[in-house]
Amino acid sequence: MSPATRHHILSVLVENKPGVLARVSGLFARRGFNIFSLAVAPTDDPTRSRITIVVDVESAPLEQITKQLDKLINVLQIDELAPIDAVERELMIVTVTVTAESKPELLSLTEEYSGVVLDEAGDRITVSLGGTPEALDAFTARMGAAVVAYQRTGRIALPRIV
Amino acid sequence: MKTNGGAALIKALELEGVDVIFGLPGGAILPVYDPIIDSPIRHILVRHEQGAGHMAEGYAHATGRPGVAMVTSGPAATNIVTPLADAYMDSVPMVVITGQVGTAGIGTDAFQEVDTVGITRSVTKHNELVTNAADIPRIVREAFHIATTGRPGPVLIDIPKDLVDPTNPNSALDWYWPDSVDLAGYQPRLDGDPALIKDAAQLIIAAERPVIYAGGGILKARAAESLLALAELLDIPVVTTLMARGAMPDDHPLCLGMPGMHGNYTAVTAMQESDLLIALGSRFDDRVTGKLDAFAANAKIIHVDIDPAELGKVRRPDVGITGDCRLVINELLTALKQIGAPEVQPDRSTWKSTISGWQEKYPLAYVQSEPGDLLKPQYVLEQLRDNTPDDCIVASGVGQHQMWTAQYWKFQHPYTWINSGGLGTMGFSVPAAIGAKVGRPDRMVWAVDGDGCFQMTAQELVTAAAERIPVKIAILNNAYLGMVRQWQEMFYEERYSEVYLSPDLPDYKMWAEAMGCVGMRVEAPEDVLPAIQRANEVDDRPVVIDFRTDAREKVFPMVPAGKSNSDIVVGPEDVR
């Protein structure tokens, strides 16, 4: 994400029906908005799903995309979550190469990030970490060239309890 | 009551008040065509599914009621994509029903299978693939509700064959009819925010050079009377966009006519020079604004639209009001009177005389053809306009003929002008005129078409002849794709690329006759009126008149694409 643009988190409550995700993502594509990350799953109410979308746009086009999203019949509610008003988490699984020297460091770092080891063979270890997106960024940065592959879920978020 | 999906679908359409379906049967929709035989709903068998869609649009434009089209799966569904996109752009209420392969076949590349809801998602207000026959009454009810409320638009219902086939157990359901529609995610706001109404009233009452910029939303909201009341209360001039022609009578002293790329000088310039634009149901389309940052640069903006996404989409309003145009205008009238309108307004006599000065100096004009030369299209339109009833409905295709009609016709009533504005769909006029005539059989309906457009959908005149729908078609035949030719002449150094069509191929008179219509050809000015009069007398079949017009004639005024509206080219003498 370039520093010139600000990321926005949209928490979109939708009907849990076939094709709804396609409607939402299709709208972004058609109106020329780039999705940075997207996470979707049913909520506590199984007839509803929550889509957490991170977009990197200026605020004026964000207003437009929000209004267009709101026109979709299956979209029930849209909340823009300013990072300060939201709790955010993201899950990452990452495979790194380790040596005899670096392995303890990795394990202690994993522990520091409340992660767990998922898999291990030869000189490779796969760990899972949950945290704020910034924390995950910091973890991969510290691993540097040792990272073989990683997969992140995209962030999920809820408004802070006020 | 036990029933099946096909019978339930037809019954639901009947309960929605549908009196006509435009359609064409095929494999997947076959079971629904059986109960149609026993239904009071009239079915009009089109010759191409695109025709069904545009007929449904024409019907909706003319009546205000939703048009209904029904076609089969696969190629039929893709053929109706263009009318869906057209209706979506121009906010036309329409419900399209498509057949789909049986539930078990979906996703297997079955015969005539396409992902209809996927293909039409971005060109419909909403669409739905039915997965359970028991949902059919509810989905039909919702479809009509969505199509006709808020910002109107097309809704598509895709129904797998097994759910409508009475021999298939999947089609069984217990009949019901929902009392109401309950859509948590769809609650259009109709009345304006009172605080914003007050703000708008203050801006209006203080404005020195206000212009009302009336768009198609006025017609959709049945707000023509309210618009007139607002304009007259405050003595404010009104421009009517391409989609709003007829929303204000053209002979009203406050009506300035059409703005935009081919708008008249006064309408374009009044907007440019205004200090307040009151945009009512209009959307700052690029064909109206010209170069955006030069558009009405000193004007404050009041923007009223039922679709909140239109407010600020193109131009940020000073006061943006979400709501139904009719209700909001009425609320504005009350608010204005409360603050002393019309008495407390500034003296606008200078603004009024400036405007009337433009009108005198820059009227629409063309040079009549010399004896022996081809007809001027504007002359044909003047004759047609002056020799048809005031409430005649006129439909057009897209191109030069459309712009000349929008310019030269004098619209005195709302819902007398039907065209494809946003999408610019060539071939729109013939089927749209047919649909309009079906909806308003009491009215005379003319289509003004171009020769290029006519060739795209002319086969629907077979439909009209077979169904005894007496529409009248005036082809302004200049043997060219005229608007493209105009751009090539003006902006591509007269390098004409793939625009010549020939005046005689096809022979339009013979073609019309072969399709069961009366066919005529007119080449001389003195033959124009007799041909129109003869056409007006035909009431048992369609009429086609092939008017041979001058291909050199261009549409003026013109704001060249990408230029500021202040750079308007008034006529050919102005072209540099």
Which pLDDT tens digit goes with each residue over A94-129?
Answer: 999 999 999 999 999 999 888 999 999 999 999 999
Q: Is B574 exposed, middle or buried (0-12, 13-18, 19+ CB in 10 A)?
A: exposed
> Could you tell me which residues are beta bridge partners of residue B300?
B276
Element containing residue B544 per DSSP (H, E): strand B543-548
The residue of chain B with its CA nearest to that of A71 is B186
The residue of chain B with its CA nearest to that of A69 is B309
Three state DSSP letters for B443-472:
CCEEEEEEHHHHHHHCCHHHHHHHCCCCCE
Chain A residues inside the 8 Å CB shell of B118: 19, 22
ipTM summary value:
0.91
Element containing residue B518 per DSSP (H, E): strand B518-522
User: Looking at the complex, does the CB of residue A75 fall below 8 Å from at least one CB of chain B?
Assistant: yes
Residue A4 has pLDDT above 70, yes or no: no
pLDDT for the residue B471: 98
What lies within 8 Å, CB to CB, of B409 at 6+ separation is: B245, B250, B381, B385, B394, B417
SS3 B128: strand
Reported pTM? 0.96
First-to-last CA distance in chain B?
A: 74
User: Which amino acid is located at A73 in the chain?
Assistant: I
User: Which amino acid is located at B121 in the chain?
Assistant: R
Residue B558 has pLDDT above 70, yes or no: yes
Q: Which of A18, A30, A67 sits opposite B309 (nearest CB)?
A: A67
Nearest to B108 by CA among B145, B54, B160: B160
Other beta carbons within 10 angstroms of residue B105's beta carbon come to: 18
CB–CB contact A19 B129 (8 Å): yes
Q: Which of A19, A67, A73 sits opposite B186 (nearest CB)?
A: A73
pLDDT category at A1 given cuts 50, 70, 90 is very low
Give percent above pLDDT 70 in chain B.
100
Q: Would you put residue B366 in left (φ > 0), alpha (ψ -120 to 50) or beta?
A: beta
* Residues of B engaging A, defined by a Cβ cutoff of 8 Å: 117-118, 121-122, 125-126, 129, 131, 146, 183-186, 307-309, 312-313
User: Looking at the complex, does the CB of residue A161 fall below 8 Å from at least one CB of chain B?
Assistant: no
Q: Which residue has the higher pLDDT, A134 or B477?
A: B477
The stretch B300-324 carries a mean pLDDT of: 98
Average pLDDT, chain B: 97
Q: From residue B274, give the alpha-carbon distance in Å to each of A35, B50, B210, B278, B336.
A: 40, 42, 6, 10, 20
The pLDDT tens digits for B396-455 are 999 999 999 999 999 999 999 999 999 999 999 999 999 999 999 999 999 999 999 999
Q: Which of A14, A30, A76 sits opposite B122 (nearest CB)?
A: A30
pLDDT for the residue B469: 98
Residue B383 has pLDDT above 70, yes or no: yes
Cα(B283)–Cα(B327) distance, integer angstroms: 18
Residue B119 has pLDDT above 60, yes or no: yes
Whether the CA torsion B475, B481, B487, B492 is positive or negative: it is negative
In which residue are the tokens 């929550």 written?
Answer: A50
Q: What are phi and psi of B126, to 5 degrees?
A: -160, 150
Query: Is residue B65 a contact partner of residue B59, using CB atoms and an 8 Å limit?
Result: yes
CB–CB contact B184 A76 (8 Å): yes
pLDDT for the residue B576: 56
Query: Is residue B22 a contact partner of residue B44, using CB atoms and an 8 Å limit?
Result: yes
Nearest to B238 by CA among B260, B265, B271, B263: B271
Chain A residues inside the 8 Å CB shell of B125: 71, 73
CB–CB contact B121 A72 (8 Å): no
The pLDDT tens digits for B239-297 are 999 999 999 999 999 999 999 999 999 999 999 999 999 999 999 999 999 999 999 99
Q: Which of B118, B186, B309 sits opposite A64 (nearest CB)?
A: B309
Instruction: Write out the two tokens for B362.
Output: 């820059």
Instruction: Write out the two tokens for B33.
Output: 């065509």
State the alpha helices, DSSP H only, in B37-183: 49-63, 75-79, 81-89, 116-120, 136-148
Chain B residues inside the 8 Å CB shell of A67: 308-309
User: Which amino acid is located at B178 in the chain?
Assistant: P
Nearest to B400 by CA among B457, B472, B471, B485: B485
Q: Would you put residue B124 in left (φ > 0), alpha (ψ -120 to 50) or beta?
A: beta
CB–CB contact A71 B146 (8 Å): no
Q: Which of B118, B131, B309 sits opposite A68 (nearest CB)?
A: B309
| Active site amino acids of B | 49, 111-112, 161, 483
User: Which amino acid is located at B34 in the chain?
Assistant: D
Residues in chain B, overall count = 576
Cα(B406)–Cα(B237) distance, integer angstroms: 18
Chain A residues inside the 8 Å CB shell of B122: 26-27, 30
Cα(B260)–Cα(B570) distance, integer angstroms: 13
Residue A61 has pLDDT above 90, yes or no: no
The stretch B22-46 carries a mean pLDDT of: 98
The pLDDT tens digits for B488-502 are 999 999 999 999 999
Other beta carbons within 10 angstroms of residue A145's beta carbon come to: 7
Cα(A132)–Cα(B119) distance, integer angstroms: 38
Beta strand segments in chain A, E = 7-15, 35-42, 48-56, 75-81, 86-97, 116-121, 124-131, 147-152, 156-159
Residue B72 has pLDDT above 80, yes or no: yes
Nearest to B279 by CA among B238, B229, B249: B238
pLDDT category at A82 given cuts 50, 70, 90 is confident
CB–CB contact B121 A23 (8 Å): yes
Chain A residues inside the 8 Å CB shell of B308: 67, 70
The pLDDT tens digits for A16-55 are 999 999 999 999 988 888 898 999 999 999 999 999 999 8
In which residue are the tokens 């007259």 written?
Answer: B232
pLDDT for the residue A83: 78
CB–CB contact A18 B131 (8 Å): yes
Q: Is A119 exposed, middle or buried (0-12, 13-18, 19+ CB in 10 A)?
A: exposed
The pLDDT tens digits for B499-544 are 999 999 999 999 999 999 999 999 999 999 999 999 999 999 999 9
The residue of chain A with its CA nearest to that of B128 is A19
pLDDT for the residue A7: 81
C-alpha radius of gyration, chain A, whole number = 18
pLDDT for the residue B516: 98
Cα(B540)–Cα(A142) distance, integer angstroms: 84
pLDDT for the residue B278: 98
- List the B42-45 sheet strands across, edge first: B42-45, B20-24, B67-71, B94-100, B154-160, B126-129
User: Looking at the complex, does the CB of residue A59 fall below 8 Å from at least one CB of chain B?
Assistant: no
Cα(B38)–Cα(B35) distance, integer angstroms: 6
- Pairs of residues, one from chain A and one from chain B, whose beta carbons lie less than 8 Å apart: 40
User: Looking at the complex, does the CB of residue A121 fall below 8 Å from at least one CB of chain B?
Assistant: no
pLDDT for the residue B107: 96
Query: Is residue B390 a contact partner of residue B53, using CB atoms and an 8 Å limit?
Result: no
Mutate to test the interface with B, among A16, A73, A74, A76 (most CBs of B within 10 A): A73
Average pLDDT, chain A: 90
pLDDT for the residue A162: 82
User: Looking at the complex, does the CB of residue A102 fall below 8 Å from at least one CB of chain B?
Assistant: no
pLDDT for the residue A117: 96
pLDDT category at A2 given cuts 50, 70, 90 is very low
